[in-house]
């Protein structure tokens, strides 16, 4: 699958996906995309990109499966618990401190690449637990965005298997989920704080005034140049002293590292200077 003619076949396929599905392959790392496309082709027992293109034209199911493979939707409630601990002990208390001294009552969080919703719901649970009933003295909301509509629909529905809520404590499960025949639906006491919408972090319009941005396990698939642009966008999207949290296996680009203040290297927490 790596001969010269197949290289042009791969380019053709990438352009097709970008044109037809709005997933702009040129932003993503070539080696990762190729590995993912090749894995779908192996499953379909096809070994030329041209033949795979005709399969995509015949089979919308295969096209959807390919897009799911390319966007990688792996996620989980309280993924990397130590990050949530740092949010609980450092990020949120500091944020609340600044809100108090500024007499500001709006708290805006952005979960970028929210997949099926576990991350934004986890953050909303954490704020709800820390603020208690005081949460309603604030205008608190989490904007959760993704480019994968299939995932966004799942997130809005908010229904998870017992395995998916495995990381949620019994206390939180009882408080914030309704059990329905072995499945767990996030209830309205949390759902009302989280708004899902389709948005492409690379090419979508800029959104502003966030106190905390989580962009975890998405940047790793993007080229360093695109990452640079996204970090610039985040600087503009954050309020002064606003926090940025990236994935545990991700790093800031050198250019971004000069602009953000480092808060916790091992948890990948940064802050926009005032």
Ligand X SMILES: C[S@@+](CC[C@H](N)C(=O)[O-])C[C@H]1O[C@@H](n2cnc3c(N)ncnc32)[C@H](O)[C@@H]1O
Contact positions vs ligand X (CB under 6 A):
71-75, 79, 113, 115, 119, 145-148, 151, 200-202, 216-218, 247
Q: Give whichever of 146 and 211 is closer to ligand X, judged by the CB atom.
A: 146
Structure tokens that stand for 111 in this block? 């979960």
The smaller minimum CB distance to ligand X, of residues 9 and 143, is found at: 143
By beta-carbon proximity to ligand X, the closer residue of 75 and 227 is 75
Place of tokens 């909303």: 124
Nearer to ligand X, 31 or 103 (CB): 31
Three-class DSSP labels, 70-93: HHCCCCCCCCCHHHHHHHHHHHHH
To the nearest whole angstrom, how small is the minimum distance from the Cβ of residue 195 to ligand X? 15
CA nearest 260: which of 247, 248, 236, 88?
236
Instruction: Report which residue's Cβ sits closest to ligand X.
Output: 113
In angstroms, give the least distance from the CB of 37 to ligand X: 16
Closest distance to ligand X from the beta carbon of 62 (Å): 18
Least Å from the CB of residue 253 to ligand X:
17
Least Cβ distance, residue 151 to ligand X (angstroms): 5
With a CB cutoff of 8 Å and minimum separation 6, the contacts of 126 are 84, 87, 88, 92
Q: Which two tokens stand for residue 128?
A: 């709800």
The strand ranges marked E within 181-235 are 183-186, 194-198, 210-215
Rounded Cα–Cα distance for residues 89 and 75 (Å)? 23
CB nearer to ligand X: pick between 217 and 237: 217
Q: Report, in Å, the least distance between residue 169 CB and ligand X.
A: 18
Nearer to ligand X, 148 or 267 (CB): 148
Distances (CA, A) of 27 to 19, 30, 176: 14, 9, 37
C-alpha distances out from residue 90 to 122, 167, 209, 227, Å = 17, 21, 20, 26
**Closest among 219, 234, 252 to 32, alpha carbons compared:** 219
> Nearer Cβ to ligand X, position 46 or 202?
202
Shortest distance (Å) from residue 23 CB to ligand X: 8
């Amino acid at each position: 699958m790596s001969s010269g003619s197949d290289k042009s076949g791969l380019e053709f396929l990438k352009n097709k996906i970008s044109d037809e599905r709005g997933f702009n392959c040129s932003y993503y790392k070539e080696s990762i995309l190729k590995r993912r496309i090749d894995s779908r082709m192996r499953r379909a027992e096809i070994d030329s990109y041209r033949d795979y293109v005709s399969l995509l034209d015949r089979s919308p199911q295969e096209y959807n499966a390919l897009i799911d493979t390319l966007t990688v939707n792996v996620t989980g409630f309280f993924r990397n618990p130590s990050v949530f601990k740092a949010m609980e002990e450092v990020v949120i208390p500091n944020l609340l401190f600044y809100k108090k001294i500024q007499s500001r009552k709006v708290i805006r969080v952005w979960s970028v690449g929210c997949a099926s919703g576990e991350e934004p719901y986890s953050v909303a649970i954490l704020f709800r637990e820390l603020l208690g009933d005081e949460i309603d003295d604030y205008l608190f909301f989490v904007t959760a965005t993704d480019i994968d509509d299939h995932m966004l629909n799942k997130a809005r529905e908010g229904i998870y298997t017992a395995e998916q809520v495995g990381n949620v404590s019994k206390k939180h499960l009882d408080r914030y989920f309704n059990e329905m025949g072995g499945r767990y639906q996030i209830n309205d006491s949390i759902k009302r704080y989280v708004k899902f919408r389709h948005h492409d972090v690379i090419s979508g319009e800029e959104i502003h005034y966030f106190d905390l941005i989580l962009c975890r396990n998405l940047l790793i698939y993007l080229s360093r140049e695109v990452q640079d642009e996204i970090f610039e966008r985040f600087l503009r999207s954050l309020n002064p002293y606003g926090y940025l949290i990236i994935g545990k296996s991700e790093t800031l680009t050198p250019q971004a590292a000069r602009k953000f203040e480092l808060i916790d290297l091992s948890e990948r927490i940064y802050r926009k200077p005032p």
